[in-house]
């Protein structure tokens, strides 16, 4: 997720921070810890200081915004989640290498990652309780709601990788060329199918939309996604489904060719024709036809296979227990009859 409003809000709060120097008024609240001996540049410190003003204003007496950094990445965090900040530093080289291998592009930036401990603070920034992270590519910035990183299916690794993918795409493709649905679909595809938004696994908005003939047109998802919750969730599902469809029909090479043409300045329509041999409208019709031919109950079984198997195993266990209890009662009854016969 990319929030332009966050940039504007951050800049205004950075201005307040520089004017009033609130974080510099107490040595206890401006401790900065470094992995390397090189100090943060004034530009980075001012920016992270502004972020600290946003994230920690709720708890000015106890919050201690700190920074871990090395030559490749900067991480801002609170004292109580220093271990998570260290984990981000540890994860970054591997995730960077994985993304560079997927796209055959270099990620030659120095990301700035902010770990937010308080979910309410994060939700005020994202303006939604559905998201767990967002990216601001023009600042090479990633903001993560760390309080939700242990909620299935999210993890710090997959969420971080998803947001890094946003930075990767915007590093190589002009914003005007990168369709919103394609960007979100690619980032989910590259991060093991995990996005940055809560999707109810037991219910598919896409399945319901197909049955009701209410699938969103992709031309509506070029610049922005809808704001209402059902349509927003559907937009994420459709984006993921479309990119997975391209992968199945044309392979990874088809996806990379499409992105390569976009990087070279070709429009989405022309890039689709050059790489896949069909127009975007035809691609959408083929994708929808493929979904309609697939029985929705079969899709549900595939998506919930482990849950169904677990339920069946639990049911068999209960039935086995009941059967054992019944057999025991029959055995005890027979034993009692034998005892009565002997007494006679």
Q: Do 139 and 76 meet the contact criterion of CB atoms below 8 Å apart?
A: no
Count H helices, E strands: the chain?
A: 12, 5
Separation CA 48–CA 31 (nearest Å): 12
Query: If we measure between CA atoms, which residue out of 165, 118, 160, 159 comes closest to residue 137?
Result: 165
Q: Which residue has the tokens 């002997």?
A: 342
What is the number of other CB atoms lying within 10 angstroms of the CB of residue 235? 24
The burial class, CB within 10 Å (0-12 / 13-18 / 19+), for 41 is exposed
Separation CA 186–CA 255 (nearest Å): 9
The token duo for 35 is 């992995």
Q: Do 209 and 236 meet the contact criterion of CB atoms below 8 Å apart?
A: no
What is the three-class DSSP state of 203?
coil
Separation CA 54–CA 11 (nearest Å): 10
- CA–centroid distance for 61 within its chain: 32
Separation CA 245–CA 222 (nearest Å): 18
pLDDT higher than threshold 60 for residue 201: no
State pLDDT tens for residues 222-255: 999 999 999 999 999 999 999 999 999 999 999 9
Return the half-sphere exposure (C-beta side, CA atoms, 13 A cut-off) of residue 208: 10
| CATH C-level class of 1-172 | alpha beta
Angle between helices 296-303 and 205-212 (to 10 degrees): 180
pLDDT higher than threshold 70 for residue 280: yes
DSSP 271-301: HHHHHHSS-HHHHHHHHHHHHHHS-HHHHHH
pLDDT (average), residues 76-96: 94
Q: Which residue has the tokens 């998506």?
A: 303
What is the three-class DSSP state of 152?
coil
What is the number of other CB atoms lying within 10 angstroms of the CB of residue 267? 14
Q: Do 212 and 158 meet the contact criterion of CB atoms below 8 Å apart?
A: no
Q: Do 175 and 268 meet the contact criterion of CB atoms below 8 Å apart?
A: no
pLDDT at 185: 96
State pLDDT tens for residues 122-171: 998 888 888 999 999 999 999 999 998 877 667 899 999 999 999 999 99
- Its pTM stands at 0.71
pLDDT higher than threshold 70 for residue 304: no
pLDDT higher than threshold 50 for residue 4: no
pLDDT higher than threshold 90 for residue 203: no
Q: Do 123 and 153 meet the contact criterion of CB atoms below 8 Å apart?
A: no
pLDDT at 312: 78
Peptide bond into 153 cis (omega under 30): yes
């Amino acid at each position: 997720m990319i929030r332009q409003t966050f940039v504007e809000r951050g800049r205004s709060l950075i201005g307040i921070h520089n004017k009033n120097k609130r974080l510099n008024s107490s040595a206890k609240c401006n401790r900065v810890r470094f992995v390397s001996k090189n100090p943060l540049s004034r530009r980075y410190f001012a920016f992270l200081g502004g972020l600290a003003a946003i994230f920690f204003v709720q708890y000015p007496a106890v919050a201690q915004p700190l920074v871990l950094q090395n030559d490749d990445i900067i991480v801002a965090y609170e004292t109580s989640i220093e271990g998570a900040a260290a984990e981000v530093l540890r994860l970054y080289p591997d995730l960077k290498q994985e993304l560079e291998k997927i796209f055959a592009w270099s990620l030659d930036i120095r990301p700035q990652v902010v770990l937010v401990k308080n979910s309410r603070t994060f939700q005020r920034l994202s303006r939604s309780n559905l998201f767990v992270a967002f990216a601001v590519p023009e600042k090479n910035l990633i903001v993560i709601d760390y309080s939700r990183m242990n909620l299935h299916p999210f993890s710090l690794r997959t969420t971080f990788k998803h947001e890094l993918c946003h930075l990767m795409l915007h590093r190589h493709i002009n914003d005007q060329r990168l369709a919103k649905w394609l960007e979100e679909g690619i980032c989910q595809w590259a991060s093991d199918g995990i996005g940055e938004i809560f999707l109810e696994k037991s219910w598919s908005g896409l399945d319901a939309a197909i049955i009701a003939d209410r699938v969103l047109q992709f031309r509506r998802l070029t610049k922005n996604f809808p704001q209402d919750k059902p349509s927003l969730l559907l937009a994420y599902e459709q984006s993921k489904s479309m990119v997975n469809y391209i992968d199945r029909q044309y392979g990874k090479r088809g996806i990379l060719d499409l992105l390569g043409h976009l990087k070279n300045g070709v429009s989405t329509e022309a890039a689709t024709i050059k790489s896949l041999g069909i127009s975007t409208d035809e691609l959408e019709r083929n994708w929808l036809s493929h979904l309609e031919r697939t029985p929705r109950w079969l899709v549900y079984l595939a998506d919930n296979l482990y849950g169904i198997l677990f339920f069946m195993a639990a049911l068999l266990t209960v039935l086995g227990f009941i059967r054992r209890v019944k057999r025991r009662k029959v055995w005890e009854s027979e034993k009692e009859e034998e005892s009565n016969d002997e007494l006679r």
